[in-house]
């Protein structure tokens, strides 16, 4: 039985020593006119006003093809559009493409653009820009996270000014959904062809807003794009994205009315926000998770018994309490939970210290194992999971030194390079998307270097069929392999938390975590008056 039962998270952390540092397949889809934002009773969309939204880290990357974290995804979505976008139900809907059709073998997809599209400077957006943008995303030298996350695309071509043909290497049922990936934004062909670096400090997109000013550590200001394809949206005159590195200060700013909306809220602050006058707490179940990545190509984690032993030390229900303040659900070392289709309800792992010690001894560590675990300081839950794992694993023979570092340093020095560190990921739109992002041998963020051929085969085969029973079997096999071989620990899934002032209308917290849809948001007449 876990020795930590009976302690709450705050007591546990205080007692610890200090740290050392599936959409339905749209065979043929035609968009209706632009949707009107969902209105609450007595509250209908209203034009005007500037929304102040707070984020918890700098918007260090402005180029939409290179964005990596939620605040960067937010700004990219404000300034740029893709061919498709995600609904609240994780389905593909029209963005720049108004319709699409697939061939019978799911290897040729024809996308028809909306008529008379324009970039924010008034220049025409045509199929040539779409082709150039997708080719830039697929060019390995650009190192876009979208490279392996928008599908097995073989070729992109323009059939005419308004029509794009996308051919895939293999049948791929999820293409319209995956083209809504946060980095898959359309930029001018002229920028792709020689001015790519221009997007590091400037913006030229076809999103609902256009850039006014960019101070990555402090504030980003955007205003309504007069050339946006939907004249009814956005409702807002502008948006100010304000950076608050300190979570308590960020919550206080919302409570005092200095900001209108928090992109995300820490679980430790959620109760305070929920009790504050004029503040609406926002919460939605999600597949967002923390994981502990292990370099499966390096000692000691190249021995599966070490990974299995560590997994047997984790009290998963307790992890939810310690790390998420109970606002989440236990994980089972696979990134798929009940929020996804094709979730396999596998045997739940439980603490077994005797078996963990035996596995370590069999792997050549009869006296236990010393490890250093790296945790970024953003979000703070990474460090909390590190502390929890350190304490839980002691009885299993693991002596873990948890080191925390600034998030910018973590991204530069540890992410995708380290041997043992805490990761944090949003829910993806499909099982294929999360597997292909993180765990296949060709994943763009192949942090574990697990490189399991049977896993790759199951994931690839599932993506090539539209047969629901086959997909269930294949994705189930993939989950079982992860459950058994533990390329990373996934002990905790999070409900997504945020908060807004009660005069913010039409905003819905998205389970994907990287989708915001602020063009559907408005301010009531009770909101403070601000100019762009």
- How many other C-beta atoms are found inside a 10 Å radius of the C-beta of residue 442? 12
Task: Report the pLDDT value the prediction gives residue 194, as an integer from 0 to 100.
Answer: 84
pLDDT of residue 284: 92
Q: Which CATH number fits domain 81-200: 3.30.1130.10, 3.90.76.10, 3.40.50.300, 1.20.20.10?
A: 3.90.76.10
Residue 271 CA, distance from chain mean position: 24
- Same fold across 45-62+69-79+207-278+502-531 and 285-495: no
Q: 353-362 and 304-311 are packed helices; what angle lies between their axes, rounded to 10 degrees? A: 170
Task: Determine the 3-state secondary structure of 7 from DSSP.
Answer: coil
SS3 455: helix
Report pLDDT digits (tens) over 73-109.
Answer: 999 999 999 999 999 888 999 999 999 999 999 999 9
For 395-419, the three-class secondary structure string (H helix, E strand, C coil) is HHCEEEEEEEECHHHHHHHCCCCCC
Instruction: Please give the Cα distance from 146 to 178 (Å, whole number).
Output: 9
Closest CA relative to residue 286, chosen from 485, 30, 511, 31 = 511
Cβ-contact 516, 531 below 8 angstroms: no
Residue 397: which of 317, 316, 305, 290 has the closest Cα? 305
What SS3 state is found at 150? Answer: coil
Query: Using CB atoms within 10 A of its CB, is residue 88 exposed (0-12), middle (13-18) or buried (19+)?
Result: middle
pLDDT at 28 (0 to 100): 33
Distance CA 502, CA 516 (A): 18
Which secondary structure element, helix H or strand E, spans residue 59, and what is its range? none
CA distance 523 to 532: 14
Phi-psi region of 444 (alpha: psi -120 to 50; beta: other; left: phi over 0): alpha
173: which 2 tokens?
């049922």
Q: What one-character DSSP code corresponds to residue 338?
A: T
pLDDT number for residue 89 = 85
Residue 33: per-residue pLDDT: 29
d(CA 418, CA 412) in angstroms, rounded, equals 11
The span from the first CA to the last CA of the chain, in angstroms, equals: 57
The whole-angstrom separation of Cα 275 and Cα 281 is 9
Check if the beta carbon of residue 113 is closer than 8 Å to that of residue 127: yes
Q: Where are the domains of the chain?
A: 45-62+69-79+207-278+502-531, 81-200, 285-495
SS3 504: strand
Residue 156: burial class (beta carbons within 10 Å; 0-12, 13-18, 19+): buried
Beta bridge partners of 403: 374
Query: Can you list the positions of beta strands (E) in 295-365?
Result: 328-330
> Do 505 and 280 touch, CB atoms closer than 8 A?
no
Q: Which residues of the chain have pLDDT under 70?
A: 1-42
What phi and psi, each to the nearest 5 degrees, are found at residue 485?
A: -100, -15
Residues 447-465 have pLDDT tens digits of 999 999 999 999 999 988 8
CB 293 within 8 A of CB 448: yes
Q: Which CATH class is domain 285-495?
A: alpha beta
Coil, helix or strand for 361?
helix
Cα separations (Å) of 79 from 46, 88, 371, 426? 21, 20, 43, 21
Provide the angle, in degrees to the nearest 10, between the axes of the packed helices 431-438 and 468-485: 40
Helix, coil or strand: residue 310: helix
Instruction: Please tell me the predicted confidence (pLDDT) of residue 508.
Output: 94
Question: Whole-angstrom Cα distance, residue 115 to residue 62?
Answer: 27
The domain defined by 45-62+69-79+207-278+502-531 carries CATH number 3.40.190.10: yes
Radius of gyration of the chain (CA): 23
CA atoms within 13 A on the CB side of 333: 27
Q: What is the pLDDT of residue 348?
A: 97
Give every CB contact of residue 328 below 8 A, 6+ residues apart in sequence.
320, 492, 493, 494, 495
Helix (H, G, I), strand (E, B) or coil at 438: helix
* Inter-residue contact 408 to 275 (CB < 8 Å): no
Which residues make beta-bridge pairs with 29? Answer: 100
Q: Are 447 and 438 in contact (CB under 8 A)?
A: yes
Is residue 93 helix, strand or coil? strand
């Amino acid at each position: 039985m876990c020795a930590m039962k009976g302690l709450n998270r705050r007591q546990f952390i205080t007692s610890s020593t200090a740290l050392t540092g599936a959409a339905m397949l749209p065979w043929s889809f035609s968009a209706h006119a632009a949707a009107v934002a969902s209105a609450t009773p007595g509250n209908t969309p209203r034009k005007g006003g500037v929304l102040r939204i707070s984020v918890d880290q700098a918007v260090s990357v402005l180029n939409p093809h290179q964005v990596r974290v939620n605040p960067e995804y937010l700004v990219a979505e404000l300034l740029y559009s893709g061919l498709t976008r995600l609904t609240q139900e994780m389905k593909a809907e029209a963005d720049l493409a108004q319709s699409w059709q697939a061939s019978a073998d799911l290897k040729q997809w024809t996308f028809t653009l909306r008529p008379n599209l324009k970039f924010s400077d008034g220049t025409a957006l045509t199929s040539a820009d779409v082709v150039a943008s997708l080719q830039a995303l697929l060019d390995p030298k650009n190192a876009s996270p979208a490279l392996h996350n928008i599908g097995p695309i073989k070729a992109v071509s323009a059939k005419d000014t308004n029509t794009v043909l996308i051919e895939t290497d293999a049948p791929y049922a999820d293409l319209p959904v995956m083209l809504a990936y946060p980095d898959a934004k359309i930029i001018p062909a002229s920028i792709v062809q020689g001015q790519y670096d221009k997007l590091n400090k400037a913006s030229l997109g076809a999103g609902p807003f256009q850039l006014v000013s960019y101070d990555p550590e402090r504030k980003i200001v955007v205003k309504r794009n007069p050339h946006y394809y939907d004249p009814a949206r956005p409702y807002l005159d502008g948006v100010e994205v304000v950076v608050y590195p300190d979570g308590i200060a960020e919550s206080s700013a919302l409570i005092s009315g200095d900001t209108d909306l928090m992109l995300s809220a820490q679980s430790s602050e959620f109760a305070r926000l929920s009790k504050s006058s004029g503040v609406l707490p926002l919460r939605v179940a999600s597949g967002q998770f923390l994981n502990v990545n292990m370099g499966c190509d390096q000692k000691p984690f190249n021995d599966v018994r070490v990974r299995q032993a560590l997994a047997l030390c984790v009290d998963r229900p307790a992890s939810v309490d310690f790390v998420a303040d109970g606002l989440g659900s236990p994980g089972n070392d696979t990134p798929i939970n009940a929020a996804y289709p094709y979730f396999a309800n596998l045997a739940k792992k439980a603490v077994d210290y005797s078996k963990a010690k035996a596995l370590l001894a069999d792997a050549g560590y009869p006296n236990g194992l010393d490890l250093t675990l790296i945790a970024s300081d953003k979000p703070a839950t990474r460090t909390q999971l590190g502390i929890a794992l350190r304490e839980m694993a002691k009885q299993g023979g693991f002596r873990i030194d948890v080191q925390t570092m600034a998030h910018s340093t973590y991204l530069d020095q540890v992410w995708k390079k380290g041997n043992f560190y805490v990761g944090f990921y949003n829910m993806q739109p499909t099982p294929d998307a999360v597997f292909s992002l993180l765990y296949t041998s060709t994943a763009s963020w192949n942090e574990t270097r697990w490189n399991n051929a049977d896993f790759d085969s199951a994931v690839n085969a599932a993506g090539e069929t539209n047969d629901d029973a086959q997909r269930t079997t294949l994705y189930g096999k993939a989950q079982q392999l992860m459950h058994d071989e533990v390329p990373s620990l996934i002990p905790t899934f999070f409900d997504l938390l945020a908060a807004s002032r009660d005069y913010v209308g039409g905003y819905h917290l998205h389970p994907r975590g990287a989708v915001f849809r602020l063009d559907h948001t408005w301010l009531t007449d009770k909101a403070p008056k601000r100019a762009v």
